[in-house]
Structure 1
């Protein structure tokens, strides 16, 4: 499948444009550190603790949910700093501990590097060294797709599950906590990953389709300056959606992503898959964490939630003209009637 991320990289707006100097530096580091990660992998087979994969449509609240899980203190996660070492995540995790963990700071030598993770983001991108990363560069190393999308059955044998589990286990070994990450690279094939990756559990966050579609449409403009350019995840139906109108594309992206995830999850046990509503998590975050703790049999999620607010403000507000919103819903309802 053609990569829209690579094809349209030159069309991104200034804030999201690739940094060629950074890419060159990372490539040089990769040449030195990848062999070291290969040696590290010899010491690991699989994670000892659960791996939490957060999935969903873009703009559905995946970033907010990961930030909420981080605030509970129950999980480790791939940071922006670690993303620079996606080819050698064990070394990235060690470097993060060395530079940013106060437990390893001698005489406050690195106090000026102190970083924190808050609830801000820009189209899924966070700021700060300890802000959570989407970690796409890591997941891509083990899957045949460059863009987050459906992996055809004929290509599933190209997924390197063994390598994925080893390297996630190496990250876990550094932090000593269950690892949580966005996992949208896996979400259209979660039945396959659940079967072959017994440590992984999925949390699917969904959002009112109207506000979700509005946000995706605005993200296209913010990211590319053009609402006609496809942005983010690709359901199986992408091949016919790519030639549709922008509103039909967005509606199909939302509808078919939801349908794919729910269909693939139908045989997963409650301790492996949890679906939640963005609006409900915003309104009752502590209740959500208690429910998650029970359903996933992970008491650490409810043991220390003093840093969690009683409620968070939902981003659901109408920001487009009513006529635009009506057209989005008409496209959504039309596709739902025709294909579901």
Structure 2
């Protein structure tokens, strides 16, 4: 264990040094190199099917995507993209598996979190547009450099980008969005199960927090998740409307049943060329369908999820929001 820890520290130190040097190269290159092409951003609630959508659409298009190797060099695209392209060329074939957004292997799809954290605060906090002006310029240059290094457009997925739409559009004039939705009960069930699996508690907050919930204490975990999902989509559609950009909404269930129908819908709506759309599984590596993940919880929790869906549908969360901040403030809504 000690040897592994030491090796990890050594590798971390090397990567940090490489990123520092690479950042200087990127800074110089981004001022003169300006790549072009569409930028497709996949957003939506956690556990809504965004990772599978990311995998399918990147496989069906000629758009470049960030992988796990590239994610090691978030500040040094000149280095990360080159290494990534070399490894991707040796990839055996497409992979349609993930574990809470994580895909195994160097060429596995990455949320590229460290890349976005160069310009955005952690936790999905919505930033002030006026204060963000300098970051807008830097981020725009970096994205154009990414496209230039790849020689094509890009596609990426990060659920926290659901709260960054206005800023992304301001920095990237070619931004288009794919909003992924899943059946409400299935989405709530998956997040609730993920809380226990990853945190060991049903009442422990996980993933992106909509701004409406930062000072809101609900108490019941299932209802809290229902509000998380509902308020997040409220924020997504509000920001998309304000940004005035191209976007399309797709269903996780339809993607599983008829992936090529969804691919064509995205292609037509966003005006982004994709690969072959012939029916059946062929050389494009896209199956004719995927199995729907619908694991049931205990009878007690299934009852709580049904109650949470009904509670949200009746607008109870909005009435709770109108009462103002709850005692305990933001920390009161996090549950640890």
Which TM-score tier does this pair reach, normalised by the shorter chain? 0.7 to 0.9
Q: How many residues align structurally? A: 308
2:291 to 313, 328, 332: 313
Gap runs ≥5 in structure 2: 323-336
Q: Which residue of 2 aligns with 1:286?
A: 260
Out of 116, 122, 137, the residue aligned to residue 146 of structure 1 is 122
Q: Is the 8 A contact 1:90 1:167 kept in 2?
A: no
Counterpart in the other structure of 2:305: 325
Structure 1 residues 24, 335: closer, same or farther in 2, change over 3 A?
farther
The match for 2:56 is: 68
Cα distance, 1:119 vs structure 2 = 0.7
C-alpha contact (below 8 Å) 1:83/1:137 kept by paired residues: yes
Equivalent of 1:36 in 3, 16, 22: 22
Deviation digits for residues 17-64 of structure 1 (CA, Å, limit 9, x no counterpart)? xx8964663343222332333223322355411111110000000001
Once residues 23 and 296 of structure 1 are traced to their aligned partners in structure 2, the CA distance between those partners, rounded to angstroms, is: 43
Give distance in 2, aligned partners of 1:337 and 1:82.
41
Offset, 1:101: 2.2
Q: 1:157 aligns with which of 132, 138, 146?
A: 132
**Aligned counterparts of 2:9 and 2:93: Cα–Cα separation in 1:** 25
1:335 — aligned with what? 316
* 2:156 partner SS: strand
Report what 1:184 is aligned to.
159
Secondary structure of the 1:198 match is: coil
Query: Which residue is equivalent to 1:10?
Result: none
Q: Deviations over 1:70-111 (max 9, x none)?
A: 221422111111111122132111112334424xxxxxxxxx
Residue aligning to 1:124: 101
TM-score under structure 2 normalisation? 0.82
Residue aligning to 1:86: 74
Deviates more, 1:39-48 or 1:19-28: 19-28
Aligned residue for 2:265, secondary structure, equals helix
- Say which of 213, 216, 220 aligns to 2:188: 213
CA change 1:43–1:283 in 2 (3 A) is same
> SS state of the match for residue 173, structure 2?
coil
| Residue 194 of structure 1: how far off its partner (Å) | 1.8
Give secondary structure in 1 for the equivalent of 2:296.
Answer: coil
Unaligned stretches of 5+ residues in structure 1: 1-18, 103-113
Q: Distance in 2 between matches of 1:21 and 1:249?
A: 41
Relative to the length of structure 1, the TM-score reads 0.81
Distance in 1 separating the partners of 2:317 and 2:134: 32
